[in-house]
Amino acid sequence: MPLSLAKMRRQYTLDGLDEAQAPDDPMVLFGLWMQQARDTESPPVEANSMALATVDGQGRPHCRILLLKGFSSEGFSFFGNYDSAKGQDLAANPWAAMTFFWPGLERQVRIEGVVGKLAPALSDAYFASRSVASRLGAWASPQSRPLDDRATLEILLAQTGQHFADQPVPRPEHWGGYCLRPERLEFWQGRADRLHDRLDYRRQAGVWQRTRLAP
């Protein structure tokens, strides 16, 4: 019997989110929620996984799952190939959005802002922390470009391994970090009967303004 998606629904039961619980700085609240997600979510869910949405030069949106690798008052950091599809999107239009979803906590966070490249020293430091296999993969993979088959990728990886045999694997210039500097964050807490809590923060003249949105 075919599955009816229309009948799939979940009743949210956890505590809500009100203004009394919410700090003036949304980055403080994000840090709290991220820590709680790390403490409670279990594999295969990765608390730092996010959907990153970009827009290309023709105005077409694209979305994929990435891992957040850091956040601070400056913004949200992630890494990848500058020549990839997302890298080309960000070069054409630096505005992007990311969404975190933590089903165990019945929460999501939406973030919007402008993306810029991290300083080379920060990208070097993160790249050096990766495994040798991952570093070789960053050199070998022509990310987002067509491949004839899996064997082609494995040949490229083997050639890269031979090239860097018995020597350090430095960060390629086409690979590095990005930082999304937020202009908006929305915190969503599931509530019963779809009457969810939504607190929306927007930066205005350098100051965060908070508003409750209807579910």
Closest CA to 13 of 104, 99, 101, 100: 104
174 is in an annotated binding site: no
9 is in an annotated binding site: yes
130 is in an annotated binding site: yes
64 is in an annotated binding site: yes
10 is in an annotated binding site: yes
111 is in an annotated binding site: no
62 is in an annotated binding site: no
Strand positions, DSSP E, the chain: 49-55, 61-67, 70-72, 75-81, 95-102, 107-117, 175-189, 197-204, 207-212
**List of residues 6+ apart from 205 with CB closer than 8 A:** none
195 is in an annotated binding site: yes
150 is in an annotated binding site: no
184 is in an annotated binding site: no
107 is in an annotated binding site: no
166 phi-psi bin (left φ>0, alpha ψ -120 to 50, beta other): left
**Tokens 């991952």 identify what position?**
134
67 is in an annotated binding site: yes
68 is in an annotated binding site: yes
CA distances, 101 to each of 49, 51, 86, 89, 106 (Å): 8, 9, 21, 23, 8
147 is in an annotated binding site: no
Closest CA to 91 of 178, 173, 171, 185: 178
60 is in an annotated binding site: no
122 is in an annotated binding site: no
196 is in an annotated binding site: yes
155 is in an annotated binding site: no
126 is in an annotated binding site: yes
Q: Indicate the residue type of 92.
A: A
Closest CA to 144 of 94, 90, 82, 93: 82
Annotated binding site: 9-12, 64-69, 86, 108, 126, 130, 134, 143-144, 188, 194-196, 198
Annotated binding site for FMN: 64-69, 86, 108, 143-144, 188, 198
Annotated binding site for substrate: 9-12, 69, 126, 130, 134, 194-196
